[in-house]
Amino acid sequence: MRVVTIVGGGIAGAALGGALARANMPVTVFEQQRGNGSGGAFLFIDERGHSAMRELGVDDAAVDAASIPVDALEYVDSAGRQSRMLRGHRFWLRSSLMDVLADFLGSSSADVRYESRVTGVAVDAGSCRIQHSDGSASTIDDVVIGADGIDSVVRAGLEPARAAVYAGDVVLYGMTTGPAGAPSDPQILHFFAELDAAGAAASTFGHIWRPGQPAHWFIRIAREPLDGPDDLGLRPMDEWSATVLAATPSITELVRPLLERTEAVHVSNARNVPLDDAAEPGLPVVLIGDADHAITPAAGVGARDALEDAHAVYRALTTGASPAEAMALRRKTIIEDRRLAMRRRASVSR
């Protein structure tokens, strides 16, 4: 039987670790932090992502209790073009998703080592040597899964040249401090693209609200990257109000009231981990989720991709197949999904 070590207990790592442990496979998960405060960041997962969660063993009741069904996704731009899609999406606070997955992992037999930071990974003669922040090291002779996110230490050890790159947008997430409505239909994720002179999206503002509940909003602004860290964490709304309003001149009446009822925003550079020159997946160390192929939050598929990675690797490990081959197939699917998404965006913008 395989003995699996997972570096990272985020979406992909927690889902995979909990599922493997429930299949009676020995699993150790190293996660550097306990708890997943995320400053109001939220996400949407479609039916594909929820199907992966279900097949990994995550309880439907837990999913239903922690997330909200979305009636539709609606796209409008400043040239007046509109489109709408229905794909079985659900709205999640990132913190709620991580609570569900952390409980899924924690209630399993997995050996979860919180506050255990991995600082380096090296592969030699078919084994993986892991350096820990306390100065200790361990040599792993079986499968290691790198699920440690966009700034993956595991990826840096395997492919040091394949670093995350700026995707061209700064992204803000906000939530009103109390119940708030908007001049739009409730329980629909609304996107509004402010087009520049060339017809490209200079900004995209998204929001969703429900009666009696706080409203959630985000914006991505095409601009130079932030100075300093890629993730500024929570910042006072006042620091960014003028920037957001300047980026949304066509929908000021919608945006201004939401900003006025928001105290803090989560601010970060949108980044991608490129797959163009990625090394072929191979044992003993396999990357999954954002560690392998992070994509800007604007794409709206990062969480789904992470969950589908976890499911593919779980299936491989529990059926005697190769997790590296499973991830090679996953990459092909991801690349094709992104190609089709670009084609859809191009057709909407015509």
In this predicted structure, the answer to whether residue 87 has a pLDDT above a threshold of 80 is no
pLDDT level of residue 350 (50, 70, 90 thresholds): low
Of 96, 109, 129, 89, nearest to 17 by C-alpha is 109
Rounded to an integer, the average pLDDT of 299-319 is: 98
Q: Cα 53 to the chain's mean position, in Å?
A: 15
Mean pLDDT computed over 340-348: 76
Q: Show Cβ contacts of residue 249 under 8 Å, excluding neighbours closer than 6 positions.
A: 194
pLDDT of residue 37: 56
Confidence band for 14, pLDDT divided at 50, 70 and 90: very high
Collect all residues with Cβ–Cβ distance below 8 Å to 160 and sequence separation of at least 6: none
Residues 240/260, Cβ–Cβ less than 8 Å: no
Measured torsion, CA atoms of residues 89, 40, 185, 241, in degrees rounded to the nearest 10:
-140
Please name the residues in contact with 278: beta carbons below 8 A apart, sequence gap of 6 or more: 159, 162, 292, 293, 331
Q: Which amino acid is at 251?
A: I
The whole-angstrom separation of Cα 56 and Cα 54 is 5
Alpha-carbon distance of 190 to 44, in angstroms, equals 12
Please give the structure tokens belonging to residue 214. Answer: 């706080």
Q: pLDDT digits over 115-154, tens only?
A: 999 999 999 888 999 999 999 999 999 999 999 999 999 9
Q: Is 319 exposed, middle or buried (0-12, 13-18, 19+ CB in 10 A)?
A: exposed
Residue range 299-304: mean pLDDT, rounded:
95
pTM of the model: 0.95
Q: Which pLDDT tens digit goes with each residue over 16-52?
A: 999 999 999 999 999 998 876 555 689 999 999 999 9
For tokens 């690349």, name the residue: 335
Mean pLDDT, the chain, as a whole number? 95
pLDDT classification of 349: cutoffs 50, 70, 90: low
Tell me what the mean pLDDT of segment 310-330 comes to: 99
CA angle 299, 205, 173 (to 5 degrees): 75
C-beta separation of 261 from 180 below 8 A: yes
Q: Cα torsion for 61, 64, 65, 71, to the nearest 10°?
A: -170
pLDDT at 347: 64
Q: Which of these, 234, 219, 235, 309, lies nearest to 270 by C-alpha position?
A: 219
The predicted model gives 219-236 an average pLDDT of 96
Report the C-alpha gap between 43 and 100 in whole angstroms. Answer: 14
User: 293-296: which pairs have CB atoms within 8 A and are 24 or more residues apart?
Assistant: 293/331, 293/334, 294/149, 294/150, 294/164, 295/167, 295/338, 296/167, 296/169, 296/171, 296/220, 296/270, 296/271, 296/272
Backbone angles phi, psi at 202, to 5 degrees: -75, -30
Contacts for 53-57: CB closer than 8 Å, 24+ residues apart? 53/15, 53/307, 55/311, 56/15, 56/16, 56/18, 56/19, 56/307, 56/310, 56/311, 56/314, 57/18, 57/19, 57/22, 57/104
Measured distance CA(42)–CA(76) in Å, rounded: 21
Task: Evaluate if residue 345 carries a pLDDT over 80.
Answer: no
Which pLDDT score is estimated for 174? 97
> How much is the pLDDT for 88?
85
Predicted pLDDT at 40:
60
Whether the ω angle into residue 284 lies within 30 degrees of 0, i.e. cis, is yes
Q: Which amino acid is at 93?
A: L
What whole-number distance in Å separates Cα of residue 65 and Cα of residue 18?
A: 19
Mean pLDDT of 212-226: 98
Distances (CA, A) of 187 to 18, 70, 82, 141: 31, 6, 18, 49
- Domain 4-35+93-164+273-349 top-level CATH class: alpha beta
Q: What is the pLDDT of residue 240?
A: 99
Give span(s): CATH 3.50.50.60, the chain: 4-35+93-164+273-349
